[in-house]
């Protein structure tokens, strides 16, 4: 057989395989525009919630009348109608309905908050200029209540969307383009972790395309030149360029032109690890776009604000859980001999040690029992943990299961030694074995809770626990802290990863 014939046969075989794979992928992954439906649900939900907040503001304003609801005036109805329309519009202008932030992180909440703040400022100025009777009193009730309702509503919708994504639904389908090794990393990051994206196909350089080839279970559907056509055929929502010598700037530009008519987005994967969006800025120049990454900073007004938030939050939580603190203290005192509190030296910000408080959950002298400490354990890395630790008291197991033993750490927060949210507070012997990367955890105050707790706690692999702590130290935001606190309540009530 001639070389030309062999090449033709290979080409025909590849064409047949591609056609079969395309039909298979299209049948499995082609879904309706869930983004449009979800966005519509969000807008209706937001409109109803802000209308409820506006109605409540009117009712509160009319409490002096005999019939608060029956006495709603025409101007008050206008206020309710205007707020119900302009508030969602303000959120839309702040890109609060952008599909790329749906259930993806604190940025969604930040956009709702910023839109609300701007609208409040505009309406407050309007109330001052127009002298609308009662408008200022309406705003003082409607906006705080409306903001809380909006954030709670988004929280519920995020949970609903995450549950659907856990079942493989409501995801953004991606066609990965690049070298085999580069697309493999993208497939691993998106398909093997909870994500709103799912790689449904891969396009590689011609030399890497073979019949039946897959990348971690994802079929290779063709080469780079046919990426736009393949994306349209399989119904991909976007094409992600994972990087390749073959994908030059001109090639990427042409790919964008080819994707535009079929409504498929183009994404470029940046070779950045564990850098959050707020630290990234794109600076457009005449012929090139520069990706600017802000260096992490660990001092300044942002950290002063965090200290104030920690102190106020810890004071409020302490007052709320004071009966629980007293009850747990009595349980510890009545069920085992020894002090109620256990003080253990931990390493805080800058490597300084401090006595961390916990309710005692082990028998007295447990920290010196070498027969237990030298035995095999279930902890990862330098972390010592045992599921069946014989030193734990009967009451202590319950306290640990629901993290009640950690409540006294609120006093450490009030003393400025810890934060409500931060990296896990390490033991001194752990820190002596830290690598340079691990020491970045010590650049911020340790927390009562953090990404390590909501991400799996003691069940996390050591490398993942370190990665989460370092990521938090370099990328934390106030809204991110609030989300972690909310997720902590769910994890604690479910007794996940605690022993």
Quote the CA–CA distance of 389 and 371 in Å, as a whole number. Answer: 11
Encode pLDDT of 387-441 as tens digits.
667 788 888 888 888 888 999 999 999 999 999 999 989 888 888 888 888 888 8
215 within domain boundaries? yes
Q: Could you give the 3-state DSSP secondary structure of residue 26? A: helix
Tell me how many domains the chain contains: 3
Encode pLDDT of 47-89 as tens digits.
999 999 998 888 887 775 544 445 567 777 888 888 899 999 9
Quote the CA–CA distance of 387 and 400 in Å, as a whole number. Answer: 11
Quote the CA–CA distance of 242 and 228 in Å, as a whole number. Answer: 15
Whether residue 144 is found in the same domain as residue 198: no
Whether residue 330 is found in the same domain as residue 446: yes
Can you give the pTM of this predicted structure? 0.70
**DSSP labels, 441-465:** GGGS--EEE-HHHHTTGGGS-HHHH
Going by C-beta distance under 8 Å and a sequence separation of 6 or more, which residues neighbour residue 265? 237, 238, 239, 259
Quote the CA–CA distance of 410 and 407 in Å, as a whole number. Answer: 6
Q: Which residue has the higher pLDDT, 16 or 237?
A: 237
136 within domain boundaries? yes
Whether residue 154 is found in the same domain as residue 175: no
Q: Are the C-beta atoms of residues 135 and 43 closer than 8 Å to each other? A: no
294 within domain boundaries? no
Q: What is the pLDDT of residue 487?
A: 83
Find the domain containing 442 and state its range: 301-493
122 within domain boundaries? yes
Query: What number is the average pLDDT over the span 159-167?
Result: 86
Whether residue 149 is found in the same domain as residue 248: no
* Residue whose C-alpha is closest to residue 217's, from 24, 33, 32, 27: 24
Kindly report which listed range (97-111, 229-243, 312-326, 378-392) carries the lowest average pLDDT score. 378-392
């Amino acid at each position: 057989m001639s070389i030309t014939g062999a090449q033709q046969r290979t080409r025909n075989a590849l064409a047949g395989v591609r056609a079969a794979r395309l039909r298979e992928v299209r049948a499995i992954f082609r879904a309706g525009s869930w983004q449009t439906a979800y966005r519509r649900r969000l807008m209706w939900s937001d409109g109803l919630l802000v209308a409820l907040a506006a109605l409540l503001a009117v009712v509160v304003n009319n409490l002096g009348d005999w019939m608060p609801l029956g006495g709603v005036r025409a101007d008050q109805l206008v206020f309710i109608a205007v707020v119900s329309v302009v508030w969602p519009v303000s959120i839309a202008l702040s890109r609060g309905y952008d599909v790329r932030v749906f259930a993806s992180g604190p940025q969604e909440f930040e956009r709702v908050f910023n839109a609300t703040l701007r609208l409040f400022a505009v309406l407050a100025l309007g109330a001052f200029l127009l002298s609308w009777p009662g408008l200022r009193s309406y705003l003082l009730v409607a906006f705080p209540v409306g903001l809380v309702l909006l954030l709670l509503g988004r929280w519920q919708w995020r949970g609903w969307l995450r549950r659907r994504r856990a079942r493989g639904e409501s995801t953004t389908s991606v066609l990965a383009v690049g070298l085999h090794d580069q697309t493999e990393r993208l497939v691993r990051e998106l398909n093997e972790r909870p994500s709103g994206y799912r790689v449904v196909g891969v396009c590689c350089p011609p030399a890497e395309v073979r019949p039946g080839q897959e990348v971690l279970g994802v079929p290779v559907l063709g080469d780079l030149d046919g990426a736009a056509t393949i994306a349209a055929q399989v119904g991909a929502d976007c094409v992600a360029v994972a990087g390749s010598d073959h994908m030059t700037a001109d090639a990427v530009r042409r790919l964008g032109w080819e994707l535009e008519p079929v409504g498929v987005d183009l994404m470029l994967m940046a070779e950045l690890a564990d850098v959050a969006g707020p630290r990234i800025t794109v600076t457009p120049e005449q012929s090139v776009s520069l990706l600017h990454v802000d260096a992490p900073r660990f001092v300044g007004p942002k950290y002063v604000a965090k200290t104030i938030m920690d102190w106020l939050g810890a004071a409020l939580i302490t007052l709320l859980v004071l009966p629980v603190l007293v009850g747990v203290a009595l349980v510890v005192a009545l069920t085992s001999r020894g002090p109620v509190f256990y003080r253990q030296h931990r390493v805080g910000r800058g490597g300084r040690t401090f006595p961390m408080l916990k309710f005692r959950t082990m028998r007295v002298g447990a920290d010196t029992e070498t027969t237990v400490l030298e035995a095999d354990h279930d902890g990862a890395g330098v972390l010592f943990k045992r599921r069946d630790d014989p030193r734990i008291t009967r009451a202590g197991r319950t306290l640990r299961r629901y993290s009640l033993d950690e409540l006294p750490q609120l006093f450490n927060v009030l003393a400025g030694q810890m934060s409500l949210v931060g990296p896990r507070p390490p033991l001194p012997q752990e820190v002596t074995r830290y690598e340079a990367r691990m020491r970045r955890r010590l650049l911020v105050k340790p927390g009562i809770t953090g990404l390590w707790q909501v991400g799996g706690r003691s069940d996390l692999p050591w490398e993942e626990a370190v990665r989460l702590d370092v990521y938090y130290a370099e990328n934390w935001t106030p809204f991110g802290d609030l989300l972690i606190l909310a997720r902590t309540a769910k994890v604690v009530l479910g007794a996940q990863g605690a022993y």
